[in-house]
Every structure is written in structure tokens, then in C-alpha cells.
């Protein structure tokens, strides 16, 4: 019975009481009697509205969703270009990321951070040992040690003035090097040789030329000019043999519902492209409705069809998040948040939305994501009134799992882990690099997103299963994995508003460890409300 029918039933009963009572007592009907009659009728309706959990049974198929081994649920991690972290800050960051185990990280810089111009012979002058590059090395040291693949890139061309609150440090500006200038390709390749060949950072696997080049904020917004720069860089890398060590990634486009830059890249730069990537800051409605999965499935299919080697090339989302325009109650995000901030990072729901986003990317046949972003301390709001480097009048771009400048801004509580760290860390650990996402066929009710992956390591076969309830209704979901012919031990993690177990450090711990589970017969998950359950045979609870 619908709510409208139930309201009609209650209201109708009340209206019939009034005229009968009126005839008996000349219209003098006690209000208490009327209220009691309506409440009694309403009480009779209540059991009919009580939501019984929706029962769903799913069976994991055999088809791999991508021909490419999974890259991972990774992160955007910038080398703290504006502020120097204390040693304790660094250790806290590294401890948390070591727990998360992101398999991939997107790391961006600018040429003026390491190149100071040209000598009289026209050779570039480099400053590899300045504080900014030392912070880059510390970040790369972590990635090298923890087997994190790095997408290294440059935000924009050296002639751009985007996000430069330190113009005095920009000694490249006077040379007028734009995206089509071959000198930029030389500078980039010198940087790659410095890090990959001289410093032996084999973790650097990919290079990204210009962040979101389709937008005017990139100082580009011209496909032909960006293509010219890509061809310059590809040729210079091939000349030096760097193309055997580092692959080009693109188009890195954002804010396009049809992503036509991707189509142009596939058709015109497919031979030069080693990995495809896009960005998308989604509306929560596009996440909850499953729109993202449908969109990304189309783009993966375009790559597979029109790049002759596309099926074997990774395709990732280089930045993901929810649109920053979700300003809660019309206020900016505090403490010290600028207009380019995400107000839901402190709220439970963001952890569900981002888990759902991850699942839709994987279900679409793509190969990884990078969360924007690790830490509020990485980026500041472009603001003419800013007093950078003093913190008195600097706004942060607040998107992170935490804020490493919490103590410095007088809000030590802001260093705490935020709720969405929970789902991101658990999914990152449960779906490691090299696993294979497997199809779960069939129609799904709105807001329900399952995910399954098979992972082989050291002769053992593991399975990870996730169920996301992105709707405020209870659901009971049974998942069967017919390929599993043995009993399994399942580590089960719960992320619900009042049920998300953590240890003393705030790190997720299993809700339960279920022994002797027959996955072929099926495992049942009870989701009483909006939330996420991740279950895996990988012992990810071990730090």
C-alpha cells in the first residue's frame, strides 16, 4: 500500500467520524476523541508501512570486466608545494598511507619549481635540491618503498600564471614557453631522466602533460595545441629511450558530459598514448542513480573499439570527487576552507558516495581511480588577498582525508581521520593492484551497487566482494560465487552511520571474521540502511 493510500485511509476515517458525532451531539465532539480516533486508525496503518528489507540474490559471473589487470583505488598526492611539513606531520601522513596501501598516486608539479631558466648557451638551469624538490623526493621515496605506481605530471605550461601566488619564484615566466614550445619537452624529459634514470625512481610509470587541458583554467583549452605538445613530448621521450620506461597518459579532461577530448585523443593520438584518463566531479544524484557507470561504460567501449590496442591499455579516473558546489547550509567549509572545497568530507554519507563512485568505475570496465585528495595541506585557494606563506589569511582547498596543518591553524582536531578514509582504505586494501574485476550480471534495484574481484598471489586465489546501499532503505543481499570450490575465511568490514569499527589509530578493523564460508552456496549481507560492506578472503586486517 502506498503512503498516499495510507494517508487517505487515515484521513477518510477521521472525516466520517465528524458528521456522525455531529448528529448525536449537535456538533460538540471532544477534540481528544477525534485525535484518538485518527491516531488509532493511523496506528493500524503503521505495520503496513514498516519497511521489510528488500531481498536481492546475485551470482558472480565469469567474464572479466577489463582485459587490463586492475591499477587500484589510488590517491592524488601533491608534494606539498606551499608549506613545509614538520617531521611528525610527515610521519603521520606516511603511517596513514602505509595503512591505506594506495596502489597508484597522481603527483603533479610545475616546471618553474625545478627549472630556473637557461644559461648563455641555451641550456636549462636546474635546482634539484631546493626545498620543493626535496619534498617531491620524500614523496617518491614512499612510493618506491611501498610499490605505488606514480603518474607524474605538470599542471600547465611554463607561461601560465594559474595558481601562482609566488611569482617571484617563477624564473621561467620571462621565456614565454607555451604548450607547443619544444623547450618544454626538453625540460620535462630532463626531469624524467633525473628522477627515473639518475635517482632510480622506477615507481614513476606514467606522465601527464597538463592538468585538465580542455578547461581555460589550464591555460590551454585548445585540443590542437595540446596535441602539438603531446607530439613534441612523445618524440623527445622516444629520442632518449624514455618511452620504454614511462608512458604518456591523457587526455585528463574534466567537466565534459560526453568527454569529446577523449574521442579525439583515441582517434588522433592513440599510438602515442599508453594510458587513458579522465576527471569527473559528480553530482550526488549522478552517483546514486548509477549514471556514472553508464557514462564510463560508453567511454571504455570507445577506447576498445577505436584504438587498435585500446583493450590492453589501462583507463583510469585521474581525479574523482563530488562537485564542490555542494555548499552545506550556504557556508564555506571550516576551518579555513576556500570556495574550492568539499563540505561533505566530514560527513558519513561522503564515504558511501565515494565507495559507490569507485564501484561504478570498476563495473564500467575501467582500471582505477585517484581520490582528490589526500590532505588539505597540499593546495591553497587562489586569492589576491592571500598572505601566503603566512597562514593568517590563506584559504585551503579542503578535500582531504585529514589536514596536516591542523595544529598550525589552531584546530588540532582537524588532523583526525575523516569518515571517507574508512571506505577508501578498505577498498584500496581489498582490491589490490593486479586483481581482476568480475562481472555480476543482472538488473539491480536503484542505489544498490555490488562489486567482485578475483586475486591470485603466491599460488592462492582470493575473492573480494562489496555491497553498497546508496539508498535509505534496508536490504538483504546474497552473493554467490560458483567458481569457489572451497571453504573460505571472510574478513567483513561494515561502514554504517553507527557501525564502523576502528582501532586506537582510527583505522578500520573487521566487524567479523567468518570461517568456513561456502561462497558457492552464497553469503548474505544485511544492510539496515545506507552504507557499505566489504568482505574479502585477503587478510587485509594485518597492518
Would you say residue 59 has pLDDT above 60? yes
- Categorize the per-residue pLDDT at 258 as very low, low, confident or very high, splitting at 50, 70 and 90: confident
Provide φ and ψ at 436, rounded to 5°: -125, 120
Instruction: Report pLDDT digits (tens) over 374-389.
Output: 999 999 998 888 889 9
523 with 450: CB under 8 angstroms? no
- Categorize the per-residue pLDDT at 327 as very low, low, confident or very high, splitting at 50, 70 and 90: low
Instruction: Report pLDDT digits (tens) over 76-94.
Output: 999 999 999 999 999 999 9
CA distances from residue 82 to 87, 133, 381 in whole angstroms, order as listed: 16, 12, 11
Average pLDDT over residues 434-458: 96
Give me the half-sphere count of Cα atoms (radius 13 Å) on the Cβ side of residue 441: 4
Instruction: Report pLDDT digits (tens) over 299-311.
Output: 999 999 999 999 9
Instruction: Report pLDDT digits (tens) over 206-257.
Output: 999 999 999 999 999 999 999 999 999 999 999 999 999 999 999 999 987 7
Across the chain, what does the average pLDDT equal?
90
Q: All 3 cell numbers of residue 84? A: 613545509
Would you say residue 46 has pLDDT above 50? no
- Give residue 328's pLDDT: 59
Bridge-based pairing state of the strands 315-322 and 368-371: parallel
Q: What is the distance of C-alpha 158 from the center of its chain? A: 28
Would you say residue 1 has pLDDT above 50? no
Long-range contacts: 386-392, Cβ < 8 Å, 24+?
A: 386/165, 388/82, 388/165, 388/166, 389/82, 389/83, 391/336
Average pLDDT over residues 3-9: 37
Would you say residue 519 has pLDDT above 80? yes
Residue with cell 636546474: 126
Bridge-based pairing state of the strands 115-118 and 124-126: antiparallel
Specify whether domain 54-62+433-536 bears CATH 3.30.565.10. no
- Give residue 107's pLDDT: 98
Which H or E run includes 206?
strand 204-209
- Categorize the per-residue pLDDT at 28 as very low, low, confident or very high, splitting at 50, 70 and 90: very low
Average pLDDT over residues 333-350: 94
- Categorize the per-residue pLDDT at 31 as very low, low, confident or very high, splitting at 50, 70 and 90: very low
189 with 240: CB under 8 angstroms? yes
Residue-level length of the chain? 543
Q: Which residues pair with 154 in a beta bridge?
A: 109, 209
Burial of residue 199 (CB within 10 Å: 0-12, 13-18, 19+) is middle
- Give residue 331's pLDDT: 64
Would you say residue 368 has pLDDT above 90? yes
d(CA 521, CA 50): 30
Three-state SS string across 410-464, please? CCHHHHCCCCHHHHHHHHHHHCCCCCEEECCCCCCCCCEEEEEEEEEECCEEEEE
What is the side-by-side order of every strand in the sheet holding 54-59?
A: 54-59, 475-480, 523-527
d(CA 41, CA 49): 13
Would you say residue 314 has pLDDT above 60? yes
d(CA 253, CA 256): 7
d(CA 23, CA 14): 15
Instruction: Report pLDDT digits (tens) over 106-153.
Output: 999 999 999 999 999 999 999 999 999 999 999 999 999 999 999 999
String of b and e for 27-46 (b: at least 16 CB within 10 Å)? eebeeeeeeebbeebbeebe
d(CA 455, CA 44): 52
Give me the half-sphere count of Cα atoms (radius 13 Å) on the Cβ side of residue 518: 2
For a pLDDT cut of 90, what percent of the chain falls above it?
Answer: 83
Amino acid at each position: 500500500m502506498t503512503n498516499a493510500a495510507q494517508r487517505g485511509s487515515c484521513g477518510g476515517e477521521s472525516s466520517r467520524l465528524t458528521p456522525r458525532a455531529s448528529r448525536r451531539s449537535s456538533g460538540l465532539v471532544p477534540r481528544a476523541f477525534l485525535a484518538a480516533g485518527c491516531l488509532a486508525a493511523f496506528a493500524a496503518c503503521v505495520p503496513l508501512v514498516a519497511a521489510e528489507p528488500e531481498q536481492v540474490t546475485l551470482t558472480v559471473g565469469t567474464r572479466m570486466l577489463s582485459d587490463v589487470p586492475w591499477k587500484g583505488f589510488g590517491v592524488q598526492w601533491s608534494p606539498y608545494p606551499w608549506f613545509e611539513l614538520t617531521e611528525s606531520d610527515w610521519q603521520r601522513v606516511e603511517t596513514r598511507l602505509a595503512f591505506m596501501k594506495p596502489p597508484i598516486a597522481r603527483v603533479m608539479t610545475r616546471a618553474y619549481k625545478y627549472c630556473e631558466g637557461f644559461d648563455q648557451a641555451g641550456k636549462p638551469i636546474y635546482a634539484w635540491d631546493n626545498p620543493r624538490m626535496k619534498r617531491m623526493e620524500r614523496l617518491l621515496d614512499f612510493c618506491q618503498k611501498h610499490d605505488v605506481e606514480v603518474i607524474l605530471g605538470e599542471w600547465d605550461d611554463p607561461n601560465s600564471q594559474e595558481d601562482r601566488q609566488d611569482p617571484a619564484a617563477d624564473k621561467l615566466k620571462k621565456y614565454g614557453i607555451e604548450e607547443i614550445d619544444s623547450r618544454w619537452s626538453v625540460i620535462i624529459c630532463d626531469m624524467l631522466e633525473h628522477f627515473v634514470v639518475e635517482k632510480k625512481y622506477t615507481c614513476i610509470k606514467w606522465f601527464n602533460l597538463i592538468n585538465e587541458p580542455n578547461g581555460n583554467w589550464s591555460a590551454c583549452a585548445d585540443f590542437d595545441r595540446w596535441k602539438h605538445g603531446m607530439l613534441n613530448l612523445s618524440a623527445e621521450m622516444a629520442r632518449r629511450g624514455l618511452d620504454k620506461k614511462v608512458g604518456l597518459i591523457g587526455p585528463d579532461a574534466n567537466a565534459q558530459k560526453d568527454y569529446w577530448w577523449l574521442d579525439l585523443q583515441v582517434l588522433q593520438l592513440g599510438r602515442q598514448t599508453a594510458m587513458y584518463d579522465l576527471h569527473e566531479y559528480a553530482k550526488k544524484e549522478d552517483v546514486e542513480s548509477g549514471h556514472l557507470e553508464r557514462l564510463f561504460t560508453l567511454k571504455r567501449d570507445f577506447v576498445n573499439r577505436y584504438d587498435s590496442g585500446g583493450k590492453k591499455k589501462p583507463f583510469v579516473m585521474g581525479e574523482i570527487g563530488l562537485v564542490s558546489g555542494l555548499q552545506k547550509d550556504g557556508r564555506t567549509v571550516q576551518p579555513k576552507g576556500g570556495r574550492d572545497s568539499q563540505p561533505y568530507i566530514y560527513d558519513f554519507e561522503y564515504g558511501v558516495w565515494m565507495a559507490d563512485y569507485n564501484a561504478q568505475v570498476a563495473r564500467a570496465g575501467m582500471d582505477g581511480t585517484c581520490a582528490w585528495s589526500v590532505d588539505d595541506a597540499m593546495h591553497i585557494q587562489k586569492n589576491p588577498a592571500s598572505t601566503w606563506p603566512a597562514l593568517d589569511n590563506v584559504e585551503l582547498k579542503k578535500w582531504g582525508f585529514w589536514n596536516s596543518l591542523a595544529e598550525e591553524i589552531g584546530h588540532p582536531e582537524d588532523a583526525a581521520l575523516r569518515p571517507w578514509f574508512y571506505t577508501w582504505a578498505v577498498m584500496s586494501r581489498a582490491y589490490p593492484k593486479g586483481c581482476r574485476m568480475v562481472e555480476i550480471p543482472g538488473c539491480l534495484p536503484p542505489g544498490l551497487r555490488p562489486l567482485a574481484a578475483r586475486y591470485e598471489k603466491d599460488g592462492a586465489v582470493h575473492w573480494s566482494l562489496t555491497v553498497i546501499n546508496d539508498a535509505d532503505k534496508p536490504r538483504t543481499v546474497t552473493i554467490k560465487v560458483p567458481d569457489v570450490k572451497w571453504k573460505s575465511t571472510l574478513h567483513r568490514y561494515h561502514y554504517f552511520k553507527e557501525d564502523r569499527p576502528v582501532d586506537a589509530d582510527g583505522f578500520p578493523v573487521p566487524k567479523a571474521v567468518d570461517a568456513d564460508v561456502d561462497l558457492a552456496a552464497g553469503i548474505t549481507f544485511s544492510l539496515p540502511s545506507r552504507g557499505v560492506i566489504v568482505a574479502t578472503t585477503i587478510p587485509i586486517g594485518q597492518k
